[in-house]
Structure 1
Amino acid sequence: MIKYIIVDDEHIAHGIIKRYCDLLPNMKLMKDCYDALEALEYLSTNEVDLIFLDINMPKLKGFDFLKTLSSPPKVIVTTAYSEYALEGYELNVTDYLLKPFGFERFLKAVNKAVTTTSKPSSTSEVKLETEEKSIFLKSNKKYTQVPLGAIQYLESAGNYVKVVTIDETITVREKITDLLETLASEDFLQVHKSFAVAKKHIKSVEGNRILIADHIIPIGTMYKTNITQLFK
């Protein structure tokens, strides 16, 4: 379960974010905060995994609030002001959503927050580090949360990618390079222009083939150097 709070002085923004989160499994709203001081009070006695944070708010600005947290949880900035993006990345913000944003862009930001490793915090300790990380995949208007550890390999088919897991195959409308950017890159390895594999599921490597469970994955000539790195 991903516990989150919304820190924004606009009621409309709260409604949009909550509606988007309600489309995803395992997202739990802990509190609606309409200014940063309210968020500080809540975080002093509670823990969350993710903060959706506006920048321009009364009393205390978003980034000033963020600087008061010694080791904050994952933060996705939601704002109408693009000029603050650089400062946000300097504060290790996970992603920067420029209002108005659509669901697809929102989903990409959430996936980035879920699949990246967080530092533990004394006031808002992130438990994504110890819990199994996952990603939300869209297929036929349905959003499925898939544990990263269950993904065996990816197979590209034009503008679609087959995500083959231990239990099922999910086809998503996305390019394999874009999907790999969202996944934890240290856990996956592209071995062919149309294939990427999860390192942990590699059973054996022989010649130009990789065996994962009962699947044979080809190794492209241009990607052989990626394979040799596995043996160092």
Structure 2
Amino acid sequence: MKCFIIDDEPLAIEVIQSHVDTVEGLNVVGTFENAIDAFHALQKNPVDLIFLDIQMPKLTGLELLRSLSHPPKVIITTAFREYAFEGFELDVVDFLLKPVSLERFLKSIAKVLKSEQNTSVPSEMEGSLNDSCLFVQVDKKTIKLYFKDILYIESQKNSVEVVTEAKKIQVRQKISDLDKELSQKGFVRTHRAFLVPIDRVESWSATELEVSDRAIPIGRTYKNDVLKQLQDYYDRKEYRYEF
């Protein structure tokens, strides 16, 4: 995915550039300290995404955006919160307040990727695809994991292990933090050490469930909630299980 960074502050450009460098497949092909130069560059070299400051001399970021007949996807980067409404009226993907943290940046990139996938899929198929993803830090790299590929997540001593069909990934993050993020994404906390995508569950009892031939315990603290979520989910899917 090719992108431009447009900002009249060199330090702000450096910050966004460093964030971009952590994401595989995202490539900065131009940086500009004024919107006029960026406008001319966009006529010759269309890109997929621009990170756009608002307050710039001669031509503001929003004026630049209005001047483009076919603008790419846009993430606004600014220190001025009051421009958010106007930016979203222009159909920007996201609005980042400076200073931009890596965590917040990655959430914006996830929105861009999701919108890319949604526009390339026929509307009648959208509901059948699980195109949500999770970005995790592994060593000095940022890795994108699709929820649909995750079998389960297991807590280790100082990290978690994300297990997919293809590999196991060690991530220095607390399982409790992932639980907060993933509980709204179809994952269920079965035990203090395990998070499981509910649609990966192949069978269950009152004390454990099975995912891809792995028996995963159901802790007593989590038992009632887990069993209720499982039953509700598979009832909606019109499956029937006998215990």
Normalising by structure 1, what TM-score?
Answer: 0.69
Bigger proportion of residues as helix: 2
Deviation at 1:6, TM superposition (A): 0.9
Cα pair 1:161 1:173 within 8 Å, conserved: yes
Instruction: Specify which of 180, 183, 200 is matched with residue 182 of structure 2.
Output: 180
Cα pair 2:159 2:170 within 8 Å, conserved: no
Cα pair 1:156 1:176 within 8 Å, conserved: no
Q: Which residue of 2 aligns with 1:82?
A: 81
Q: Does 1:27 align with 2:26?
A: yes
Cα pair 2:7 2:13 within 8 Å, conserved: yes
Query: For residues 32 and 199 of structure 1, do their structure 2 counterparts lie closer, same or farther at Cα, with a shift above 3 Å needed?
Result: farther
Structure 1: give runs of 5+ residues left out of the alignment: 122-129
The structure with the largest alpha-carbon Rg is 2
Q: Does 1:162 align with 2:164?
A: no
Q: Which residue of 1 aligns with 2:225?
A: 222
Instruction: Specify which of 142, 146, 150 is matched with residue 140 of structure 2.
Output: 142
Ranked by relative contact order (alpha carbons within 8 Å, sequence separation 6 or more), the top structure is 1
The Cα RMSD (Å) is 3.7
Query: Which string of whole-angstrom CA distances, capped at 9 and with x for unpartnered residues, describes residues 160-204 of structure 1?
Result: 5432223113223240244428xxx65x3325365443456x261
| Percent identity of paired positions between Structure 1 and Structure 2 | 35
Q: How far apart, in 2, do the equivalents of 1:191 and 1:70 lie?
A: 47
Instruction: Specify which of 185, 189, 192 is matched with residue 190 of structure 2.
Output: 192
Opposite residue 54 of structure 2, the aligned amino acid is: I
Normalising by structure 2, what TM-score?
Answer: 0.67
Query: Which string of whole-angstrom CA distances, capped at 9 and with x for unpartnered residues, describes residues 178-231 of structure 1?
Result: 4428xxx65x3325365443456x261333444222323355422444322244
Opposite residue 178 of structure 2, the aligned amino acid is: I
Opposite residue 23 of structure 2, the aligned amino acid is: L
Per the alignment, in what secondary structure is the counterpart of residue 14 of structure 2?
helix
Per the alignment, in what secondary structure is the counterpart of residue 19 of structure 2?
helix
Query: For residues 21 and 156 of structure 1, do their structure 2 counterparts lie closer, same or farther at Cα, with a shift above 3 Å needed?
Result: same
Q: How far apart, in 1, do the equivalents of 2:152 and 2:69 lie?
A: 38
Structure 2: give runs of 5+ residues left out of the alignment: 121-128, 237-243
Per the alignment, in what secondary structure is the counterpart of residue 117 of structure 1?
helix
Opposite residue 225 of structure 2, the aligned amino acid is: M
Q: How many residues align?
A: 215
Q: How far apart, in 2, do the equivalents of 1:197 and 1:204 lie?
A: 11
Per the alignment, in what secondary structure is the counterpart of residue 18 of structure 1?
helix
Opposite residue 168 of structure 2, the aligned amino acid is: E
Query: Which sits farther off after the overlay, 156-165 or 102-111?
Result: 156-165
